[in-house]
């Protein structure tokens, strides 16, 4: 075993970068760092993705040295740690590395940084790697960077660009059993049944993978007669260390921390639920929270491999055999707003950093928009407010709320709200946040219960803020005021009982009725139709007015152009005072004309004449109704006095269209005349029609003396001949032929019916 340790140290010292791929239990996180301590000066930082692993690995490292924890080896996790001035090897969680880099980008006194379980591809781990590579390239070329992993990742190899050392594993055959069909009923009952079977039918320890602490506790309650022990992040360090030492046979109920981060001795059977809780961006709350997901295939293999360390083993997979979901780096699923803030603090654009997987464009745009709303960025630069938000290890929304609470003297309330939003919902389905806050206050001091995890989280925040607990229920408006700072895009106004409009635009419904204004902290906003309010707090109108901007709105209401001076927050209109709307804009004219131009028949004939001329090859402007409606700015000089849609109908449309033609209007009158001169000396109007010859309608007596068919641009006119009563007699484009062949018969019939009218033989 010692050979690969020495080889790994030598490679890292020579290359500066190393990807160390070793099977679980080989010692990559409990032996390799100690060898580096002997080979390198200064301090070594080892980063774990989880608190439970950080504490356990630190304890094991100290034990291997034969020293108490906190001497040469120490650890530091969120709001907890054990270290001293003698500490040279410090085990931390990934998020703390990012904070450390912010405080000291050069990592003064640090000779090497090790990132354990890098293959898990957490967003914080990927970002930490990218920033470390940048530090090494620009500020600390002597800094050593190593990735420790059980399953090498090609993207990590390509990004690191250093040496790769793969340590071959030792494993025994594992017999895999699947359920024949998808499981039914409670997960905990199924896990307990198979844990009992594995324990009673075999030898060695049984390792049961469950999604989270709550499932572990419930499963443990179903195994009271067996030595079933829990392993999760909330476990005291002493109990955690005891599980990692050999001892009497037991059942270990663990989260995926036992998948790769911790090595459990004595395991011969594994019960795998196939589930885990992973960080996922929740668009309903705008926060990243743990979601229950199916594990990918490499995780299933690693879980199964835990049974084959000591000898042949068994694994019971509580799901049918079949396809696994693809493994996706967290950067493709997560909210990127905090990562973007961190990159900006380093003077970098997130997408320009050497990340193993580039951030999705849509998620980046969402992050920029949110940070702009929160006041954390201006343009593409970090604001002083954004820098202050970075000092708090939480989502930018909640950091912004905490800073607002500091200004208003409401930090105890902020601690409770942050805990309620970060932890699992203790009142599932209850939409009023005030009810949850009241439940927390009632449970405070009563010990464990549904609100115990929330109270623990609140206590940690209160410790950070240096304030005591909230002792009485605050005014609902105070709660809304703080939440509005975190969710300025979730302010909503009631439009009808149980119906709301978000400041960002979408409509929401609320079960039952609610206050006139609220902040929808939790909401399902669909792409179509109404969304739902899932969690809210009431808002005071005055708080919304403080954020509102002033704008003049003009538009059509009930056929009239109206104007208002408005106080507006997004789509929400909070105040409205009538003002003179002024002349209509091009957009307002477009709205008024959406049904079409209100053209008189004379005006429409102008467009038909133009179309006819263009069809005959005459060069004329292309003036169609559709084109005119695309951008009605040409109508602005004529519409200054328009205040009603009826005023549009009264405009001189024929003159307007001719004015748009300019000099071409005169050519149109000459080449495509509006009317024709008859032999009687009178003029008769032509009717121009789409895709048809012009039509000349006249009584037969008016056509006397008209020997040949009139033509326009060489096209024979369709002559509609009418009786003295105006009834159609004949339509022809061959007037000469009509007089010769048809008129004698027509004359006889019409003379009989209209004897008082002249009917010459040769008209």
Task: Give start and end residues of each alpha helix (H) in 202-290.
Answer: 213-221, 237-243
Question: To which CATH superfamily is domain 174-327 assigned?
Answer: P-loop containing nucleotide triphosphate hydrolases (3.40.50.300)
CB 356 within 8 A of CB 129: yes
pTM: predicted TM-score of the whole model, two decimal places: 0.72
3-state secondary structure 127-153: HHHHHHHHHHHHCCCCCEEEEEECCCC
Distances (CA, A) of 89 to 11, 69, 545: 20, 11, 54
Neighbours of 269 (CB within 10 A): 26
CB 102 within 8 A of CB 132: no
CA distance between the termini of the chain? 123
**Domain boundaries along the sequence of the chain:** 2-167, 174-327, 590-671, 686-753
The series of mean pLDDT values per 10 residues for the chain, 763 residues long, is: 85 95 83 95 92 87 94 88 94 88 92 92 93 95 94 88 85 90 92 95 93 91 94 69 79 80 82 88 63 89 86 94 89 92 93 95 91 94 95 93 97 96 77 91 78 87 94 93 94 93 87 92 72 91 90 88 91 90 91 91 94 93 90 93 92 93 91 92 93 93 91 94 91 92 90 90 82
Q: Cα-atom radius of gyration of the chain, to the nearest Å?
A: 40
Residue range 2-167, CATH number = 3.40.50.300
Q: Distance between CA atoms of 631 and 638, rounded to whole angstroms? A: 15
19 pairs with which residues across the strands?
147, 164
Confidence (pLDDT) at 256: 81
Confidence (pLDDT) at 308: 86
**Token pair belonging to 149:** 């992993």
- Span 406-453, pLDDT tens digits: 999 999 999 999 999 988 767 767 899 999 999 899 888 776 677 888
């Amino acid at each position: 075993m010692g050979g690969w340790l020495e080889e790994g140290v030598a490679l890292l010292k020579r290359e500066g970068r190393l990807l160390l791929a070793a099977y679980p239990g080989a010692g990559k996180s409990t032996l390799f760092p100690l060898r580096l301590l002997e080979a390198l000066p200064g301090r070594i930082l080892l980063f774990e993705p989880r608190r439970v692993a950080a504490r356990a690995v630190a304890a094991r490292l100290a034990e291997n040295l034969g020293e108490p924890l906190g001497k040469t080896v120490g650890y530091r996790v969120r709001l907890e740690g054990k270290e001293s001035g003698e500490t040279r090897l410090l085990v931390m969680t990934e998020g703390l590395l990012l904070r450390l880099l912010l405080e000291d980008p050069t990592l003064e006194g640090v000779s090497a940084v090790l990132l354990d379980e890098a293959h898990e591809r957490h967003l914080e781990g990927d970002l930490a790697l990218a920033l470390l590579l940048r530090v090494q390239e620009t500020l600390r070329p002597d800094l050593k960077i190593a990735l420790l992993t059980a399953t090498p990742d090609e993207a990590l190899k390509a990004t690191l660009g250093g040496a790769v050392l793969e340590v071959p594993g030792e494993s025994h055959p594992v017999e895999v059993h699947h359920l024949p069909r998808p499981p039914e009923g409670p997960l905990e009952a199924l896990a307990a049944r198979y844990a009992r079977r594995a324990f009673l039918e075999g030898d060695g320890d049984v390792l049961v993978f469950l999604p989270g602490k709550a499932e572990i506790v419930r499963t443990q309650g179903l195994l009271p007669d067996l030595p079933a022990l829990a392993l999760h992040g909330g476990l005291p360090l002493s109990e955690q260390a005891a599980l990692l030492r050999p001892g009497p046979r037991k059942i270990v109920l663990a989260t995926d921390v036992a998948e790769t981060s911790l090595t459990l001795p004595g395991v011969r059977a594994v019960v795998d639920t196939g589930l885990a809780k992973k960080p996922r961006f929740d668009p309903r709350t705008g926060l990243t929270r743990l979601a229950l997901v199916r594990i990918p295939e490499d995780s299933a293999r690693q879980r199964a491999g835990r049974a084959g360390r000591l000898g042949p083993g068994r694994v019971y997979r509580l799901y049918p055999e079949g396809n696994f979901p693809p493994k996706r780096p967290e950067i493709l699923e997560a909210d990127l707003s905090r990562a973007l803030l961190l990159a900006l603090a380093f003077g970098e654009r997130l997408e320009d950093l050497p990340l193993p997987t580039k951030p999705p464009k849509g998620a980046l745009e969402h992050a920029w928009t949110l940070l702009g709303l929160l006041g954390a960025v201006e343009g593409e630069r970090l604001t002083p407010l954004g820098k202050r938000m970075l000092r708090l290890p939480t989502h930018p929304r909640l950091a912004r709320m905490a800073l607002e609470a500091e200004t208003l003297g409401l930090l105890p309330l902020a601690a409770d709200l942050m805990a309620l939003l970060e932890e699992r919902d203790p009142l599932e389905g209850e939409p009023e946040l005030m009810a949850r806050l009241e439940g927390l206050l009632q449970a405070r001091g009563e010990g464990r219960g549904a609100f115990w995890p929330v109270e623990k989280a609140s206590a940690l925040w209160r410790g950070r803020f240096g304030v005591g607990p909230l002792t009485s229920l605050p005014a609902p408006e105070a709660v809304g005021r703080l939440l509005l700072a975190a969710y300025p895009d979730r302010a909503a106004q009631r439009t009808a009982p149980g119906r709301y409009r978000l400041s960002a635009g979408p409509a929401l419904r609320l079960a039952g009725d609610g206050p006139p204004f609220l902040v929808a902290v939790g909401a399902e906003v669909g792409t179509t139709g109404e969304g739902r309010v899932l969690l809210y707090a009431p808002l005071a109108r005055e708080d919304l007015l403080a954020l509102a901007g002033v704008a003049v709105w003009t538009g059509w209401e009930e056929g009239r152009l109206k104007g208002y001076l408005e106080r507006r927050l997004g789509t929400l209109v909070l105040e409205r005072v009538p003002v003179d709307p002024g002349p209509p804009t091009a957009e307002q004219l477009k709205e008024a004309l959406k049904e079409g131009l209100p053209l008189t028949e004379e005006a429409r004939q102008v467009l038909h004449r133009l179309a006819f001329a263009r069809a005959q090859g005459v060069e004329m402007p292309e003036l169609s109704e559709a084109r005119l409606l695309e951008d009605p700015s040409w109508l602005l000089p004529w519409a200054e006095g328009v205040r009603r849609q009826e005023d549009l109908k009264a405009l001189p449309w024929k003159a307007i269209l001719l004015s748009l033609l300019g000099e071409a209007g005169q050519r149109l009158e000459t080449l495509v005349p509006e009317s024709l001169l008859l032999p009687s000396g009178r003029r008769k109007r032509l009717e121009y029609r789409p895709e048809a010859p012009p039509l000349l309608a006249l009584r037969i007596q008016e056509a006397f003396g008209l020997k040949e068919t009139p033509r326009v641009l060489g096209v024979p006119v369709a002559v509609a001949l009418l009786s003295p009563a105006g009834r159609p007699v004949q339509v022809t484009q061959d007037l000469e032929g009509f007089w010769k062949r048809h008129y004698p018969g027509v004359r006889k019939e019409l003379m009989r019916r209209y004897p008082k009218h002249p009917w010459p033989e040769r008209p």
